[in-house]
Structure 1
Amino acid sequence: MEAIRTALTVGVGTGGAFALWMAARRQRSTEVQLHESARAADAAELDSRERRLTDLYVQAVEQIGSDKAAVRLGGLYALERLAWDDVDRRAVVINVLCSYLRMPYLVPEQLKNGRYRLPAASDLRQHEEWQVRITVQHLLGNLLRDQPYDLDLRGATLIEFDLRECAIGKALFHDAQFISTPKFMGATFHDEVWVFDTSFDTVARLEGATFLDRAIFTRCAFYKLCLQDAAFAGGASFIQSKFAGKADMSQVTFKSGIEFEDCVLDMDRYAAEGMRERGWESPEIDLTGAVADVSSLGTPVTLPSGWQLQGSSIVRAATLEPKPSSA
């Protein structure tokens, strides 16, 4: 009887253990199935989201190519929404916006030579395209608020371009035309800035801008340049550039090479158009209070005529203290 009782106890225990093992296996199997179902659902959701975003991108690009301004505006705002919803596509959206601004644009007479006025309503196509381009620039500025992205605006026509307080990666402005006042106050350029053969129609405002890499302005036409309190961590070059008004570079900090070779101070165009009567100052490069901490780097320093480097300060040549006589 004892043997039978012991055998029954062992059997019951073994059966209970087996039942527990089976329950554990069923639980594990259920968990695996739930995990796989969740993975499949996530994959399906991701695929659906990617399809939706891709369709939105394709439709937006098609709308931008429309000959109707209202349709183009709708496509532009759809692209902005896509850029905010999908950070990975933001660079692509920014490239599309830059490509639109690089498209050929016949500048109306109202926008030439600083005579900035909205195209007349009678010229409907010009009026509509002006509105579309202003919108493109506005959206571009919005997308550059939190992190830097590259800008390729070579050959672009930019009207009242506004990138104040923006973060910009590599910037290319070759052969660009800035109509009315471009605003870069407080902007930070995280990569190189290349500006060749570029025209600034009126005042170029870059007060407080920060250039963390090289800033190359070659053969540019500045009619008035505001660069006060800017900082150049890389080289700053203004080779063969023309200044038709005052270039205010007071309190600027240079921490690498400085080049002002073959710069031209010329106000002939503005004199012909009576700009002196409008209060424009004579051509001048003002480096009052500017600092150039480049002596330890051994990089070239070529300053405008009338300015010299004294220690780390840029001062007018006439204010340099005479060296003590050796006698």
Structure 2
Amino acid sequence: MTDGVERARHRLPVLKWWWVVAAAATAILLTGGTIWLLLVVLGRQASTEQAKAQLEAIRTALTVGVGTGGAFALWMAARRQRSTEIQLHESARAAEATELDSRERRLTDLYVQAVEQIGSDKAPVRLGGLYALERLARDDVGRRAVVINVLCSYLRMPYLVPEQLKGGRYRLPAASDVRQHEEWQVRITAQRLLADLLRDRPYDLDLRGAILIDFDLTGCAIGKALFHDAQFISTPTFMDATFHDEAWFFDTSFDIVVRMEGVTFRDRAIFTRCEFRKLCLRDATFAGGAYFTQSKFAGKADMTQTTFKSGIEFEDCVLDMDRYTAEEMQKRGWEPPEIDLTGATADVPSLNEPAKLPSGWQLRGSAIVRAATLEPKSGVRR
């Protein structure tokens, strides 16, 4: 519609033949009328003076005629100039449209080629495809969400986790495990490029069932995040990240330490039935509710100085004392299972329902403090 309005604004009316005839007739009538009027008026004067006056009248009338013709010629010249400007404008528009169409075809070809590359059975080709997609997302912000979806889809593909990766450690595999090592390199690259594309503005992430290794979204802006059944190998890091929409960590397992210091959840954060080895959630902000229902903690959950502005739910959580013996935990340098809410606060008037805090903690005004007794309450089972 805008294109049509633009064309209408620059359209030049067709020059009709009767316009020229009308202009010529107007010039003749003006010239003849001027001569006749002057001769009638001057006809009453003396003869000598009359002749001079008549001559002057004819000269004046001819001047009027010439002036009228000149005005018509000037209008024609202006029309030609306008016609030339419109032609140049249309040529520029056509060139711009051609360039835009060529750019779109080039970007589409680049996208198709990159997707084909990441489906290759050769790791270097897959890496090339990932970098091509990242370049595409940089050149065309409108396609960035599509590229992010492709990267998430790749990370959701099945992956057999090598033994060397388990327990938060990684050693170079033997020669027979080269393919696993190559795929590890590709997945690490995909994760890094994904994080780089989340620096400027939030985009949705669908990583349901994904296997994520050393996953790092530090300082990123994230839209809706789906991590259902995801498996985090080694230490995932979300420090100072901002989740602008719901974050679903549902049935998610964390291999060792989770770094979420300073993270902000602007909407609900659901950690239902998650398994944590050690959770670092210090100075976090839950603006839309924090739900740790039926989650299992096998080590310390540091939630000190955390701010809860909506729902708080730790119902049916489990402090897993059976996974490791006290001797093993001491040997590994791990702290015993505990949910630490020291210095945490809650916006009590905004709570949708009464806070369901872990055993040993209670609300005093807006502060979450240790209860007088450490007997288990309806919140956390030991």
- Which one of 340, 349, 368 corresponds to residue 295 of structure 1? 349
Q: Secondary structure at the match of 2:249?
A: strand
Please give the TM-score of this superposition, normalised by the length of structure 2. 0.81
- Which one of 201, 213, 238 corresponds to residue 292 of structure 2? 238
Q: Does structure 1 residue 135 correspond to structure 2 residue 189? A: yes
Q: Secondary structure at the match of 1:304?
A: coil
Evaluate the alpha carbon distance shift between residue 69 and residue 179 of structure 1 in structure 2; reply closer, same or farther with a 3 A threshold: same
Distance 2:56 2:368 in 1: 109
Specify the alignment match of 2:12 in structure 1: none
Specify the alignment match of 1:260 in structure 2: 314
Q: Secondary structure at the match of 2:75?
A: helix
Structure showing greater Rg: 2
Q: Secondary structure at the match of 1:139?
A: helix
Counting only pairs closer than 5 Å after superposition, residues 1-327 of structure 1 correspond to structure 2 as 1-271=55-325, 274-318=328-372
8 A contact 1:217–1:237 mirrored in 2: yes
8 A contact 2:281–2:306 mirrored in 1: yes
Evaluate the alpha carbon distance shift between residue 287 and residue 131 of structure 1 in structure 2; reply closer, same or farther with a 3 A threshold: same
Specify the alignment match of 2:27 in structure 1: none
Evaluate the alpha carbon distance shift between residue 172 and residue 191 of structure 1 in structure 2; reply closer, same or farther with a 3 A threshold: same
8 A contact 1:199–1:221 mirrored in 2: yes
Distance 1:48 1:300 in 2: 60
Distance 1:136 1:188 in 2: 20
Letter in 1 for 2:234: S
Give 1:19 shift.
1.2
Distance 1:266 1:152 in 2: 29
RMSD: 1.6
Q: Secondary structure at the match of 1:171?
A: strand
8 A contact 1:120–1:127 mirrored in 2: no
Distance 1:274 1:259 in 2: 30
Distance 1:47 1:273 in 2: 68
Q: Secondary structure at the match of 1:269?
A: coil
Distance 1:298 1:175 in 2: 28
8 A contact 1:145–1:166 mirrored in 2: yes
Give 1:31 shift.
1.0
Distance 1:298 1:103 in 2: 38
Give 1:274 shift.
3.1
Evaluate the alpha carbon distance shift between residue 120 and residue 209 of structure 1 in structure 2; reply closer, same or farther with a 3 A threshold: farther
Give 5+ residue unaligned stretches, structure 2. 1-54, 375-382
8 A contact 2:326–2:336 mirrored in 1: no
Distance 1:62 1:69 in 2: 13
8 A contact 1:249–1:285 mirrored in 2: yes
8 A contact 2:310–2:350 mirrored in 1: no
Please give the TM-score of this superposition, normalised by the length of structure 1. 0.95
Give 1:10 shift.
1.4
Deviates more, 1:209-218 or 1:274-283: 274-283
Evaluate the alpha carbon distance shift between residue 297 and residue 219 of structure 1 in structure 2; reply closer, same or farther with a 3 A threshold: closer
Q: Secondary structure at the match of 2:270?
A: strand
Describe the superposition over 1:9-36 as per-residue Cα deviations: whole angstroms up to 9, x where unpaired: 0121112111110111011111111111
Specify the alignment match of 1:325 in structure 2: none
Q: How many residues are aligned here?
A: 320
Give 5+ residue unaligned stretches, structure 1. 321-327
8 A contact 2:329–2:335 mirrored in 1: no
8 A contact 1:137–1:161 mirrored in 2: yes
8 A contact 2:319–2:338 mirrored in 1: yes
8 A contact 1:159–1:179 mirrored in 2: yes
Percent identity over paired residues: 85
Larger strand proportion, structure 1 or 2?
A: 1
